[in-house]
Structure 1
């Protein structure tokens, strides 16, 4: 097990990824879920609901970056992922090799996260089942948990059991890939928890299931009212085990700006410079090229080139 405690002096190195906005970070985080995450987390702040935040499975950090923006002073944001570590069993190892091993590194996650934040979250590198024995998280300490790790039934079921222990009674869990055709294990574990283990749906999107082990009605009704203000057709209410559960789409929720990174201004300046160069007359392009040659050529080479040109010019005279 490896754990990194946040430190304010951590910064990306020169060769690390430099995303300009959240959309530049590789990953799967549809606009609907981006908007719903923000609405739920902002409502928790308005309701003064205390607690920490946990993400199980971070990939390269797109959703973690957004979650980190909603962590308040005195709260702890914990993330858990295998990164380059070995999985706990062969089936999980095969899943990692098939989907993530070539692109998922802790260094890339940290560089992406630090592009938007001054310090890293608390990082647990290793299988998510280790969280249960690590002592990192106290019972009923989390107000929001996002599960987006293994798609194998046994691991998802274990993640849900652990989440039930550490989530506050009024906390919210978001389950990724609960309905994708390639992730039947997530669907099985999610609806098993609803049918047999007290998990109650709050809302559904095309990508994620949102639920709680407490009373979903206050947040669910507030969400339905919010959706109707945005779109009179919204939400689509689905009857699930005698509960009216809203099914949402992006237009039903308030729009959210794409978070900008520390590299955004530099990226915009570079883009503008390229646009100007494309619009510049040919003689200005040649002048710019000569300037760049002089700028990046070693001084001794520049002096030699100038002497050669002067000699050739004198010979012609």
Structure 2
């Protein structure tokens, strides 16, 4: 695969509204030194959201990405899901894309996401993106792992929680709200954002920020006994994208031939007269 010339060339589903929210949540954490911790992504595809998230890694922190990539799936339903939706996914493709934007790869765990809780320390992560399997049993396990690994006030983003082809994700996320004390802060068309910490300060600050955005519609309603911010990002203007380390120069255009020199009018008239004269003599 040729290296991507820009962020838009990386294949994946990471829409402008969610780029804005990732940027807002991760930058907010920079204002609170006590909210230290590592970054974690469960499910990476070809690296679009990982490339974006990796730009917020701070000194002394670790970014871990866990994905099967091209390894065998742990069960038949997961194997069928991989064949159906991620047949082009390879670790080599992910690494090539990531290294086009960052000097070093994240820590890669090429395995089912069910192993991640045994690979990282409890309470060690400040931001977790759950975007692996869409099957209920796997998503439920990912949420349990995220709760164990999340530090105080960590933010957890869940992908595809409302897509019609992923009812298992919706069941797992809302089940965690009902039974695992997950507090949702906001939702977009594709992702839900929550915490096991104190959601109120984050929600209040997010509402103030949303009031300043003319490209994002938002509303608030009570869901499961708590306010939930709904965000419509159809007109969202994405933040500045990550820049490739070594921009690929556009291909050179072939030189256009120089136009022929115009024939002087007098010479062309003389040539025409000679041609016509020759025809008359015949």
Aligned residues: 258
The alpha carbon displacement at 1:253 in A equals: 7.0
Aligned equivalent of 1:139: 122
Render the CA deviation track for 1:190-231: whole Å, top value 9, x for unaligned: 000001110001110000000001111111110000000123
Does residue 213 of structure 1 match 2:188?
no
Aligned equivalent of 2:6: 21
Please give the TM-score of this superposition, normalised by the length of structure 2.
0.87
**Distance in 2 separating the partners of 1:17 and 1:152:** 32
Does residue 171 of structure 1 match 2:154?
yes
Aligned equivalent of 1:256: 239
The alpha carbon displacement at 1:245 in A equals: 1.2
Unaligned runs of 5+ in 2: 260-282
* Stretches (4+) displaced over 4 A: 251-255
Aligned equivalent of 1:96: 82
Does residue 242 of structure 1 match 2:228?
no
The alpha carbon displacement at 1:281 in A equals: 4.1
Structure 2 CA distance for partners of 1:185 and 1:154, relative to 1, 3 Å:
same
Please give the TM-score of this superposition, normalised by the length of structure 1.
0.78
**Distance in 1 separating the partners of 2:21 and 2:216:** 17
**Distance in 2 separating the partners of 1:191 and 1:165:** 18
**Distance in 2 separating the partners of 1:177 and 1:166:** 21
Aligned equivalent of 1:156: 139
**Distance in 2 separating the partners of 1:205 and 1:233:** 10
Aligned equivalent of 1:39: 24
The answer to whether the 8 A contact 1:18-1:263 is kept is: no
Alignment of 1:103-142 (within 5 A): 103-133=88-118, 136-142=119-125
2:79 is paired with a residue whose SS is helix
**Distance in 2 separating the partners of 1:255 and 1:188:** 29
Q: Which has the greater radius of gyration?
A: 2
More helix by share: 1
The alpha carbon displacement at 1:254 in A equals: 7.3
